[in-house]
Chain A
Amino acid sequence: MIVKICDIISNEKISSDKDDERGVYSMLIDAPEIAEIAKPGQFIHVKCDSFTLRRPISIASSKNNKIRICYDIRGGGTKWLSGLKGGDNCDKIDVMGPIGNGFDISDASKKVLLVGGGIGIYPLYSVAEVYGENAAVVLGFRTKERITFEKEFKDCGVDLYIATDDGSYGVKGRAIDLVREFLDKNNNNIDIIMTCGPKAMLQGIALEAAKRNIRRQVSLEERMACGIGACLACVCRVDGVNKRVCVDGPVFDISEGSGVDFEW
């Protein structure tokens, strides 16, 4: 675990939201020690100004001594983050990580289906980098303005499908619909499904994967405090027992047990 004040290399808005107060930002951070050991699906815990709690943000990519995080402006903390500057005389940022268990990338010759919704797509990007052509990717967004990383995913060589809730881009509908269609067409010829996004989406994907008996890993999100497993704030219910999202997750393999209790 590394706690370090790092240089910001760049920090820019990548979604096309017209409202200045909103949007997804991508920040590149000079963090060699973290970049060296980070695995797809892990996150960093970011200190924001004088806020009491750090903000957990998943690592979208880690290479060449740098890590990239992408975050949506959700409140004061992320708003403050969005105002930080990279480049010459850059701002600095206090980060802690990498934290948690990531996705299974032990065998990149396996066929993987990645299903992401909203800002849940970014940890999956680091998985797509590993699996390349062996990955099919389904991404769901609310609307065209929220779409990001289309080119980045394509550049990994993946088979990419996009859905928007309002039909302003790609297929109108939800990611789960595209997933069903994809799996039907491919005779369930997928070794593992990995997913990250809104709870409703995760629930749907987990159920669909279970029905078709496909191995599945979900990345969970929960309001977090310490980020190191001590305070028990980010607890969720997996396979019938309490699990800490920060250190027992955020990625859980739910192929064997009763899975995530999303109602808990």
Chain B
Amino acid sequence: MVDKNNNNIDLSVEIAGVKLKNPVVTASGTCGFGREYLPFYSPEEIGAVTTKGLCLNPRDGNKPPRAAETPSGMLNSIGLQNPGVKYFIEHELPFIKRFDVKIIANIFGSTVEEYCEVAEILSDTGIDMLELNISCPNVKEGGILFGTCPKMAGEITESVKRHSGKKPVSVKLSPNVTDITEIARAAENGGADCISMINTLIGMKIDIRTRKPVLHNNIGGLSGGAIRPVAVRMIWQVKKAVKLPVIGMGGVTTGDDAVELLLAGADAVAVGTAAFGDPTAVLKVRDGIRDYMLENNIKSAGDITGGAIL
């Protein structure tokens, strides 16, 4: 799509066959199913909405406290609370489908079979892409076991791909590994169409007065600006290791932050934690990317990708 205000700027990107009108999407778990942010922006303004993680049956998640402020970031341990994939299809998907926006359904399960079943159920709906969460650090069913072992990551990708029909599958990687490129390669060999990275880094915060962990779950996922350098480094490494497109995420708050991830090799960028401080953060990120393109005479957003000069 050619941007209305700047005739020669093309913000659109194509990822695994899915055309996004701009490279900015919401990060899973931070924007529900897109509904809550309607008072602040129309989903049509962004490239895609990524849903909260979905599994087969409703899940209550972890006990509170579930969130804590940390230096330049936050910890969360929501524990994958969600209403289940069937509720999503009946009550949330029709609503978000009224908007001209792509939908990435984030899925997880406690077994390979559950991942496959959820993927199969969604393969027959109006979603545009599946994002395989093999990296949630907050529950044992969140897939981090799959996401930290290359063999298992490859196998689960392969299995899900057999049940995902025509929907492209992006595998969301955990940064809590020794060598993320091994997992990325395994996902690629398993047939992944895309890589989403990075999920949160596992962290912990202790209240020194009470001597108790702040989160009920003791540990949680670190997100926000603090993890951006980790995301940039890992995207750069993974992009050299695999040929897949990458949806980059990790502490993106401004357009400049997004450009940094794009330069490292991301093809699109997800915004998550930033929305908690500023509910319109996605729009600012999008506009910031456009401004960067204007200033640097870049015609197409895709041309930023991998442009880091070494």
Contact = CB atoms under 8 A, between A and B. Distances in A.
B68 interface: yes
B172 to A, nearest CB: 17
Contacts of A51: 69, 277
Contact of A53 (B29, B31, B74, B81): B74
B119 to A, nearest CB: 23
A264 B67 contact: no
Select the residue from B37, B68, B74, B214 with max chain A CB neighbours within 10 A. Answer: B74
B200 to A, nearest CB: 13
A223 B36 contact: no
Interface residues on A, range: 20 to 34
B64 A223 contact: yes
A242 B60 contact: yes
A52 B279 contact: no
Interface string A1-42: 101000000000000000000000000000000000000000
B277 A242 contact: no
B224 interface: yes
Interface string B203-233: 0000000000010000000001100000000
A53 B66 contact: no
Interface in B278-303: 278-280
A232 interface: yes
B39 A1 contact: yes
Contacts of A235: 61, 64, 66, 78, 81
Given A222-B64, A228-B37, A242-B61, A53 B32 contact: no
B30 A226 contact: yes
B148 interface: no
Nearest to A227: B276
B277 A47 contact: yes
A56 to B, nearest CB: 11
Interface string B159-174: 0000000000000000
Interface in A197-247: 222-236, 242, 247
A232 B58 CA distance: 14
B65 interface: yes
Contact of B276 (A75, A222, A231): A231
B95 interface: no
B150 interface: no
A226 B68 contact: no
B306 interface: no
B37 A230 contact: yes
B65 A52 contact: no
B273 interface: yes
Which 10 pairs between the two chains have the least Cβ-Cβ distance? A233-B67, A230-B36, A230-B32, A223-B65, A225-B276, A1-B39, A233-B66, A225-B67, A52-B224, A229-B36
Interface of B: 29-32, 36-37, 39-40, 52, 60-61, 63-70, 72-74, 76, 78, 81, 214, 224-225, 273, 275-280
